[in-house]
Amino acid sequence: MKLLLLVCLGLVAVVLALVLLLIMDRRADRAEWARLVAVQPEDPPVFTHALLAGLPEPAQRYFRYTIAPGTPLLPVAEIDMTGRFSLGTRENPAYRPMKARQILAAPEGFVWAMRTQGGMPVSGSDSGSWTRFRIFWLIPVARMGGDPDHSRSAFGRYVAEALFWTPAAALPGPAVSWEGVDDDTARVTFRRDALEQAVEVTVDFEGRPVSVVFQRWSNANPEKVHRRQPFGGHLSDFREVGGYRLPFRVEAGNMFGTDAYFPFFLAEVSAIRFPGQGGEAAQRRR
C-alpha cells in the first residue's frame, strides 16, 4: 500500500513538473511574440521605386511585383496556416495535417507555433532561440536550442521566409545587401550580430518569386552532423494583402534542387496580418 502511494505521488509530481514546464514555455512564446510585434515601426516609410536604385534587375523585378508603390513598409507579419507536416523521412514521410500560426520579423526573429490534427497529437513551437515539441500536449519529445548551431539554422529559416511573406524586410540597408546571379535570380545576404545568411530568389518574367533556396546550417542528414546543405521551396497562389502580393501556398524542404529533395513542409496560408501600424491590412483565404 505504501509503495502504491509513493508511486502515485511520484506520478503526480512528474505531471505537475510537466505542466509547469508547459506553462513556462507558453509564457516564453507569448513574450517573444510580443517582443517581435514591437519591432513593427509606428510610422513606417512607404515604398517607392527609388528605393530599388542600384539593385540587380531580378531583385528590382521581385520588389516591383511584391510591393505596390505607396505601401507602408512593414517588416513584421503574422501568418495563419494549415497544411501537412512530415514527422518521418523521405522514404516514409508520415505526413500529418497541421495547423499553425507564426510571427515573422526578420532579421530579429520569429515564432512558429504548430499542432497536428488527428492521430497522436503533436504540438510545440520553433523560434530563433528554441525548438520545443510535445506529444499529448504535455510530454516533451524534442527540446533544443540556446546554442550556435540552432541559432544559425533558425536564422537561415526565418530570413528566407522574409522573401515569402515580408518583402519589406528584404529591402537593401545596413544589414541587407543584394547581388545578381543570372537573368532571373538574385542573391540577398542578411546580417544580424554574428549571423549571416545568403538566400537566392528566382522570379518569373513578372517578378513573381517562384522559388527560394539557400545553404542552410542543418543536421538533417544521415550522419546527423551540422553542415551547409541546400534548403528551399516553391511559392504559389499569390494574393494581395494591404499593398503586398504574397504566396498563400508554400512547399519547402531539405536538399532542395537535388534528387534527395524532401518537401516536409506543405502549407496553405489562411490569413496574413501586419500587427501594429497597418495591422488592419489582412487577407483571408476564401
Could you read off the pLDDT tens digit of each residue along the chain, which spans 286 residues? 776 666 676 676 777 888 888 999 999 999 999 999 999 999 999 999 999 999 999 999 999 999 999 999 999 999 999 999 998 888 889 899 999 999 999 999 999 999 999 888 999 999 999 999 999 988 899 899 989 999 999 999 999 999 999 999 999 999 999 999 999 999 999 999 999 999 999 999 999 999 999 999 999 898 999 999 999 999 999 999 999 999 999 999 999 999 999 999 999 999 999 998 544 455 555 4
The answer to whether the CB of 180 falls within 8 A of the CB of 170 is: no
| Residue at 78: amino acid letter | E
User: What pLDDT score was predicted for residue 13?
Assistant: 77
Q: Using CA atoms, how far apart are residues 58 and 262, in angstroms rounded to an integer?
A: 27
Q: Where do the domains of the chain lie?
A: 2-284
| Residue at 21: amino acid letter | L
User: What pLDDT score was predicted for residue 99?
Assistant: 97
Copy the grid coordinates of residue 104: 515573422
User: What pLDDT score was predicted for residue 90?
Assistant: 84
Residue 235: name the closest of 163, 127, 157, 156 by CA: 163
Q: Using CA atoms, how far apart are residues 230 and 286, in angstroms rounded to an integer?
A: 34
The answer to whether the CB of 9 falls within 8 A of the CB of 1 is: no
The counts of H helices and E strands in the chain are 3, 14
| First-residue to last-residue Cα distance in the chain | 60
User: What pLDDT score was predicted for residue 15?
Assistant: 76
**In whole angstroms, how large is the CA radius of gyration of the chain?**
20
Give the distance, in angstroms, between the CA of residue 71 and the centroid of all CA atoms in the same chain: 23
DSSP structure class, residue 112: E
pTM: 0.91
H or E element at residue 8:
helix 2-37
The answer to whether the CB of 110 falls within 8 A of the CB of 127 is: yes
User: What pLDDT score was predicted for residue 284?
Assistant: 55
